[in-house]
Chain A
Amino acid sequence: MSSLNKSLLIPLVIFIVLVAILAGGFGLKDPHFLPSQLIDQPFPDFSLSELNDPSRELTASDLRGQVVLVNVWATWCPNCLIEHPELLRISREEGVPLLGINYNDDSSKARQWLVRHNNPFQFNIVDDKGKLGIELGVYGAPETFIVDAKGVIRYRHVGPVSRRIWEETLGPIIELLETNPDGLKG
C-alpha cells in the first residue's frame, strides 16, 4: 500500500514543478517585456536632424564621449508625460546628459510640447518615420537607453522612468559605467 501511495505522489510532484516553471515563464513576468537584442551592441548609425535646429545633422558620434541617457518619447504617448517630471529632475540634478529621440511624431507638435512642459533634453533626434526606433528594437514609447562613452548600448528600460527606477536601476548603472567603463560586461 505504501509503495502505491508513493507512486501516486509522482504526478503531483511533476505537476507542481510544471506549474512553478510555467508561472515563472508566463505568469509572473510582464508579457510586454521583450529583452533587448541590442545590449552591448554599438548604438546604430543614423543621420537625422535636430528637433529645434533642423539644419543640424545628428549622427551616432554625437552620443559618444560620456555616458548618456537616451529617451524615446512622443507627444502621443501618455506615459511620456507621466515620466516627464522625473526626466526634468534628472537633467537638473543628476548631471548625466539626457538626449531625446522624438519618435514617430509631428515635429511642430513636439516643439510646442517641449515649450509647454519644459525641455530636459540636450538635443532631440527627429525620428519622424520611426526608422531609428526600428534599429533600436523600440516597440513603443517611452523607452530609455543607457549608452556608454564609447557609444555602446548598456541598458534598456521600457516604460516610464520613475524616481524609483532612477534610484534602483538607472542611477547605479550610470555611476558604475562612469567609474568603471568595463564593468557590467555581459
Chain B
Amino acid sequence: MLTKVHRIVILFALALCQAPAWAAIDAYPFPKDEMRQQYNSLIAELRCPQCLNTNIAGSDAMIAKDLRREVHRMVLEGQSDDDIRAFMLARYGDFILYKPQLRAGTLVLWFGPGIFFIIALVVIFGMLRRRKTNVTALSDQDQERLKQLLSK
C-alpha cells in the first residue's frame, strides 16, 4: 500500500522528470543541419516583443510565431545572423535583442554595473582606511573614566 507521503514523493519525482516543453511549437523543415542550428540559436536570442521576458522560441504569442516564421524564411534565404538581427532591430528596436548592441544609448547598460562596482570598491577602501587612522589613543581623562566604569 502506498501512503500519502509516498504518493506525493512519486508525484514530485514525475514532475521533475518532465522535459521542458518549449520550442516544440512549430516544426520547420531545413535542408541543412547548420541552418537548423542557426534558426534555433536565433530564436533563442531574440526577445518576444509582446511578452516582456521570453524569447521567441519559448513564446506562444502570435507575434512570436510570426517572427519565427520570418527567421525561418531568412535562414533559408541564406542570410547571416547579423543580417537577421539587423532586420529585427530596424523594426522592433533594442528590446528585441537580449544582448543589446554597443552604442551611445546602451553604454550605461554595458558599463553601468562595472562602474558601480568600482565606485563601491573605492568607497569601501576609503572607509576602511579612514577607520584605521581614526583610532586614536584615549585621553588621560577618558582612561580614568573607563577605569571607574569597569571597576563598578
Contact = CB atoms under 8 A, between A and B. Distances in A.
Interface in A132-172: 133-140
A130 B91 contact: no
Nearest to A138: B63
A104 interface: yes
A136 B91 contact: yes
Interface string B53-65: 0000000001100
A32 B47 CA distance: 13
A141 B70 CA distance: 19
A37 interface: yes
Given A134-B66, A134-B67, A140-B63, A37 B90 contact: yes
B117 interface: no
A139 B92 CA distance: 9
Interface in B42-56: 49-50, 52
Contact of B91 (A31, A32, A134): A134
For chain A, give the interface size range.
20 to 34
B63 A130 contact: yes
Nearest to A21: B108
A115 interface: no
Nearest to B93: A37
A130 B93 contact: no
Interface of B: 49-50, 52, 62-63, 66-67, 69-70, 89-93, 95, 123
